[in-house]
Amino acid sequence: MPSPEGPGDRGGGRELSAPRLRHDTPERAGLDPGELRRLVVEFHALTTGERPWAPGAVLVAGRGPVIAVEEAAGWAVRYASYDPDADAGVELPPDARVPVTVDTPFDLASLTKLFTAVAAVQQIERGTLGMDARVGAFLPEFRAVVEHGVTVRELLTHTSGLRPELPLYDCVDAEERLAMLRAEAPVGAPGTYTYSDLNPLLLQHVLERVTGRTLDDLVHHGITRPLGMTATRFGPCPDAAATEDQRRPWAKVDRGMVRGVVHDENAWALGGVAGHAGLFSTGGDLAVFCRALLAGGSYGPARILGPDFVELLLTPPGLGFALDQPWFMGELAGRGAAGHTGFTGTSLVLDRATDTFLVLLANTVHPRRRGVDSGPRAGAGTRVARAVRGVRGA
Q: DSSP strand E in 24-78: where?
A: 56-63, 66-77
Which CATH code for domain 22-55+101-360+373-389?
Answer: 3.40.710.10
Burial class (CB in 10 A: 0-12, 13-18, 19+), 221: middle
- Alpha carbon distance 369, 107 (integer Å): 14
What is the model's pLDDT at position 390? 82
CA 23, distance to chain mean position in Å, is: 23
Query: Domain residues of the chain, as ranges?
Result: 22-55+101-360+373-389
Among 164, 108, 115, smallest CA distance to 344 is for 108
Mean pLDDT per 10-residue interval, the chain, length 394 residues: 43 61 97 97 95 97 98 98 96 97 98 98 98 96 94 97 97 96 92 96 98 98 98 97 97 97 98 98 98 98 97 96 97 95 98 97 97 94 95 45
What is the model's pLDDT at position 244? 98
Phi-psi sector, 61: left (phi>0), alpha (psi -120 to 50), beta: beta
- Alpha carbon distance 200, 117 (integer Å): 8
What is the model's pLDDT at position 189? 87
Long-range CB contact pairs, 90-99, < 8 A, 24+: 90/367, 98/242, 99/56, 99/72, 99/74, 99/75
**Which residues fall within 8 angstroms of residue 263, CB to CB, at 6 or more apart?**
107, 109, 243, 244, 246, 277, 343, 344, 365
What is the model's pLDDT at position 16? 52
